[in-house]
A and B are shown apart, each in its own frame.
Chain A
Amino acid sequence: MTYPEKNAGLEELINIARKIRLSILDLIYRTRSPHIGPSFSIVEILVALYFRFLRASPEQVLDPGRDRFILSKGHSCAALYAVLRERGFLTQEDLDGFAMNGGTLEQHPNIDMEKGIEVSTGSLGHGLSIGAGMALSGKVTAQNYRVFVLLSDGELNEGSVWEAVMFAGHHRLSNLIAMVDANKIQALGCTRDIINLEPLGRKWDSFGWHAQDVDGHNFKQIVQALDSLSPDQPNVLILHTVKGKGVSFMEHELLWHYRAPNEKEYRQALQELK
C-alpha cells in the first residue's frame, strides 16, 4: 500500500501547530478537562509525524503495512485528538463528544483503529512494550512499517519502560522510534527533584539505542532528527519541550497538568495563541 505524500513544509507545519493548540484549548476549556500543559508540549512532534512522516492515512486505517503511532503518555490525548481531527481520522462530531457523558472520546485514548487510535493508553509504562511487539512482528514478517511511541519523561520512572528499552536494544528493532516528551515536569514536581533522569540520552545510548537530543518545539530540528534515524538500531528522540508551551502563564507551570482555564484565562490564552 502506498501513502499520499503529506510532506508539509516548515511554514505549513507551524501553521498547523497553531491551529492544533487552539483546538486543544477549546477541547480543554469546554469540558473543564485536565492535562492542557502536557498536551501543549507535544504539539510539534505530533504535527511533524502526522503531516510529514507517518505512513498512515484515514483512507487506509486497517492496512497491515501502515506505520503505527502509540501515545504512551495517554493523558495528553487532547493533542492527539486535535491532530487526528485535522488529519481526517476523526470527525468534528467525534471531537464534540470529548469528555461528555455518553460521548465519543475519553480523557485517555481508547482503542479504535478505524479512527486512528491504535492502542488504549493512560496507564504509563505500557506503550513501549506494545510498540516493541509491533516492531518485532514487522521485522519477522518482513514488513517495512515503523512504530512510533511517544512517552513522557515522568513515565520513564516506570520499570516496564526499561524492560522494553532492553528488549528493543537487544533485538535491534530499528523500526521502533521512541520519543520522549522531556518537559521536565511530572505529576508532583520537577523530574530532577523526584527521580533524576539525567544523563537521559546516554542512558538510552548505553542500552543500544540511537539517541538524539532535539528542541521539541523546533520543526527544523524535529524534521532533521526524523530524517537521520539509525537504520540498524532502535531510535529515540529526546524532545526538550516546555510544559504548557504557547501560553505564557501556563509555561513551565505544574498547575496546568491539572487545571482547566477559567473564562478570563481562556480569553488570554486565545489571544496569545492566535
Chain B
Amino acid sequence: MRASFFDMLVDLSKDRDDLFVLTADLGFKLFDTFKSQCSDRFYDVGVAEANMIGIAAGLSLTGRNVFCYSIIPFLVMRAYEQIRIDIAYHNLNVKLVGVGGGFTYGMEGITHFGLEDLALMRSLQNMSIVVPADLWEARKLARIACDYPGPLYIRLGRTGEPQIHEAEPAFEIGKPMILRDGKQIALICLGNMVHIGLQVADLLQSRGLSATLVNMHTLKPVDAGFIRQLAGAHEWVFTLEEHNVHGGIGSLVAEVLIESSYRGSFKRFGIPDLEKVMGNADYLRAYYGLTTEKIAERILTLLH
C-alpha cells in the first residue's frame, strides 16, 4: 500500500514541479525513484520530525506542495504541536502521510503502534483525514491528494494488505463507500478493517444475518447525513477500526448518532487500552478480538 502510494507520487511528480517530499529518515528504498528524478525536491531532514513539519510549513507558505512521511507515532505525536500550529492552524497545503496504522509494526512494540493518531488528528481544525483500505485506494488517494487544498492526514498500512478492489475504485474524499448492501445490521469499517468486515459480513450471511458494509475511509470531513441515514435503515450499527476505541471512527459515529434521533443499537469494535502482551500484528489483532470469527461471534451474541 505504501509503495503504491509513493509510486503514484513519482508518476505525478513528472508533471508537477511544485511537489516536494520530506521524510524524517524513514522509508528505506521507498523514495529511491523520486530522489533520482527530483533530487532538489526530496529531503531527508534527518531524525527530526518537528523540524520536518516546520520546513513543510515554510515550503507551503512559499507556494510549494508538500508531502511529509514517517511512521505514525513519530509523525503525528512527536511533531503534534508543529502540526497543530504550523500546518492545521495556518491551513496549509501539506499532506501528512503516516505509515503503520494500528498494530502494523507488531513485534517492534508499542513505540511503533499507531493507535491514537485519529483521535489526535480529528480535533485539529482544517485537518482532513483519510484512511485507504487497499493499494488501489492508496494510489487513487495519492492523485487526489496532490490537488486537495489544505492539510490532509493520510493513514497507511505498510505492505501486503489484502486487496478490496480489483481495479481503481470510484473514490472521493468525504464520500463513504457502500461495499455490501444488507438489511439488519450495518458495519462501518476503517482501513484494514474493511477487509475483515467483508469476511464478517460473509460469515454472518451464512448464519442468516444480512449486513451492509461501509468503507468509511474519510473521518473528516464527515458525511453525518450518510451515517444518520444508514443508522435509520438498520437495527444495529457496528464500527470496526484498528485504533483505540476512544476518539476514532467509533467515537465519530457515536457522536453523530447520539445527536440524531437514532433509537437502535450500537457497538464499537476497536482496541482498548493496551495490556502487557507482545506479538506480531495478526497475533495482537487476535488478542484484542479484531478477527473475523471473534467479531462475528460477538455480534451474534449481542443480537441474540
Is chain A's binding surface mostly helix, strand, loop or mixed? helix
The answer to whether the Cβ of B46 comes within 8 Å of any Cβ in the partner chain is: yes
Known: A120-B85, A140-B40. A64 touches B59 (CB 8 A): no
Q: A120-B90, A123-B81, A132-B54 are in contact. Are A163 and B59 (CB under 8 A)?
A: no
CB nearest neighbor in B for A164? B51
The answer to whether the Cβ of A133 comes within 8 Å of any Cβ in the partner chain is yes
Q: How far is B62's CA from A118's CA once the two chains are assembled, in angstroms?
A: 10
Residue among A123, A131, A137, A140 having the largest count of chain B Cβ atoms under 10 Å: A137
B299 at interface by CB-CB < 8 Å: no
Residue on A nearest B82 in the bound complex, by CB? A126
Cβ of B202 to closest chain A Cβ, rounded Å: 49
Q: Which residues of A contact B63 (CB under 8 A)?
A: 64, 137
Partner of B59, one of A120, A123, A133, A159: A133
The proximity string for B residues 48-66 relative to A, scoring 1 for CB distances below 8 Å and 0 otherwise, is 1011011111111111100
Q: Report which of B43, B46, B81 forms a contact with A136, defined as CB distance below 8 A.
A: B43
Complex CA–CA separation, A166 to B57 (angstroms) = 18
Smallest CB gap from B47: residue in A: A163
B interface footprint on A122-152 (CB within 8 Å = 1, 0 otherwise): 0101101111111111101100000100000
Most buried by A among B50, B54, B58: B58
> Quick check: A133 and B85 within 8 Å, CB to CB?
no
Contact check, A129 vs B51: say whether CB atoms are below 8 A apart: yes
Closest B residue, CB atoms, query A143 = B62
B195 contacts chain A at the CB level, 8 A cutoff: no
What 0/1 readout, one digit per residue, does chain B (254-282) give for beta carbons within 8 Å of chain A?
00000000000000000000000000000
Please determine whether A130 and B43 come into contact, CB atoms closer than 8 angstroms: no
| Cβ A133 vs Cβ B57 within 8 A | yes
Q: Is the CB of B59 within 8 A of A167?
A: no
- Please, how many angstroms separate the alpha-carbon atoms of A138 and B53 in the complex? 17
Would B55 and A119 count as touching, CB distance under 8 A? no
B48 and chain A: residue at smallest CB distance: A163
Instruction: Give the contacting residue for A130; candidates B45, B57, B64; CB below 8 A.
Output: B57
- From known contacts A137-B59, A140-B40, infer whether A130 and B46 are also in contact, taking CB-CB under 8 Å: no
Known: A120-B90, A123-B85, A167-B46. A132 touches B55 (CB 8 A): yes
Asked whether B234 is an interface residue with its Cβ less than 8 Å from the other chain, the reply is: no
How many angstroms from the CA of A159 to the CA of B78 in the assembled complex? 12
Q: Is there a chain A Cβ closer than 8 Å to B86's Cβ?
A: yes
Whether A133 and B56, one on each chain, are in contact in the complex, defined by CB atoms closer than 8 angstroms, is yes
Minimum Cβ distance to chain A for residue B55 (Å)? 4
CA A120 – CA B87 in complex, angstroms?
A: 10
Question: With A119-B90, A120-B85, A160-B82 in contact, do A137 and B62 touch (Cβ < 8 Å)?
Answer: yes
Given A130-B86, A167-B45, are A160 and B51 neighbors across the interface (CB < 8 Å)? yes
CB-contacts of A37-73 with B (<8 A)? 64
Give min CB distance, A139 to chain B, whole Å: 9
- CB-based contact A166/B85 at 8 Å: no
List of A residues within 8 angstroms of B89 by Cβ = 111, 120
- List of A residues within 8 angstroms of B57 by Cβ: 119, 129-130, 133
Which chain B residue has the least Cβ–Cβ distance from A171? Answer: B43
Closest to A139 in B: B40
Q: Tell me the nearest residue of chain B to A149, going by C-beta.
A: B58
Contacts of B50 in A (CB 8 A): 125, 129, 159-160, 163
**Complex formed: what's the CA distance from A167 to B57 in Å?**
15
Alpha-carbon distance A166/B24, docked complex (angstroms): 14
Distance of A125 Cα from B86 Cα, bound (Å): 11
B48 near A134: Cβ-Cβ < 8 Å = no
A132 close to B90 (CB less than 8 A): no
Given contacts A64-B63, A136-B59, 13 further A-B contacts (CB under 8 A): A129-B51, A129-B82, A130-B86, A132-B51, A133-B57, A133-B60, A133-B61, A134-B59, A134-B61, A138-B62, A163-B50, A167-B48, A167-B55
Interface residues of chain A, those whose CB is within 8 Å of chain B, are: 64, 111, 118-120, 123, 125-126, 128-138, 140-141, 147, 159-160, 163-164, 166-167
Q: Which 10 A-B pairs have the closest CB atoms?
A: A133-B58, A129-B54, A163-B51, A133-B55, A163-B48, A134-B58, A137-B62, A160-B50, A130-B58, A133-B59
- A selection of 18 A-B contacts at a CB cut-off of 8 Å is A64-B62, A123-B85, A126-B81, A128-B54, A129-B53, A129-B57, A130-B55, A131-B58, A132-B58, A133-B57, A136-B43, A136-B55, A137-B59, A138-B62, A160-B50, A160-B82, A164-B51, A167-B45
